Amino acid sequence: MTTLTCFKAYDIRGKLGTELNEEIAYKIGRAYGQIYKPKTVVVGCDIRLSSEALKQATIRGLNDAGVNVLDLGMTGTEEVYFAAFHLDVQGGIEVTASHNPMDYNGMKLVRENARPISADTGLKEIQALAETNNFEEVSQKVQRKAITFCLSSLTIY
């Protein structure tokens, strides 16, 4: 079992290639899906060159866990949180390195109603499952859809 050092108290952050890569991103998506068993999750990423590949790997992990994904494309963290709250989905993941140097990247995870996932609310469990790589077999068919409309066009009541 490999210890994943990219898991921090409130998010996931690590040096690209060694602490965070596509394989680890896949495992994070797969573990998130197995633990929370959401029907649908929104996923977005920031503008960093490594973010799109990490996002795609995360989506593959979610899909393999039986989770439908709404791919928001290039977003800020606040847009993923907004979508997770307003689109009747059960969670969201933003691939972002935030303020870290260019050779880093990371993720911010939320559950339904955009409730943040941190070490004391589930991030440690995601880490443990990703480290053991002990994933359940899933035969459920899932969908992956890209969101192509502007979130600001939504009517909020």
Of residues 50, 51, 98, 153, which has the active-site annotation?
A: 98
Furthest C-alpha separation in the chain? 48
Residue 143 pLDDT class (50, 70, 90 cuts): confident
Residue 4 located in a structural domain: no
Show the tokens assigned to 75.
């977003």
Give dist(CA 17, CA 100) in Å, integer: 15
Per-residue model confidence as pLDDT tens digits over 10-43? 999 999 999 999 999 999 999 999 999 999 999 9
Residue 5 located in a structural domain: no
In terms of residue numbers, what domain contains 100?
A: 12-134
The predicted structure's pLDDT at residue 146: 84
The predicted structure's pLDDT at residue 141: 80
Contacts of 79 (CB under 8 A, 6+ apart): 44, 72, 151
Residue 102 located in a structural domain: yes
In the chain, alpha helices (H): 22-36, 51-64, 77-86, 123-132
- The answer to whether 21 and 51 have CB atoms below 8 angstroms apart is no
Residue 46 located in a structural domain: yes
Report the predicted TM-score, pTM, of the whole model to 2 decimal places. 0.93
The predicted structure's pLDDT at residue 132: 98
- Say what percent of the chain tops pLDDT 70: 94
Residue 151 located in a structural domain: no
Output the domain CATH number for residue 88. 3.40.120.10
Residue 127 located in a structural domain: yes
Residue 69 located in a structural domain: yes
Residue 61 pLDDT class (50, 70, 90 cuts): very high
* b/e map 25-47, b = 16+ CB within 10 Å: bbbbbbbbbbbbebebbbbbbbe
Does 98 participate in catalysis according to the annotation?
yes
Give dist(CA 153, CA 20) in Å, integer: 35
Give dist(CA 84, CA 129) in Å, integer: 23
Q: How many domains does the chain have?
A: 1
Residue 43 located in a structural domain: yes
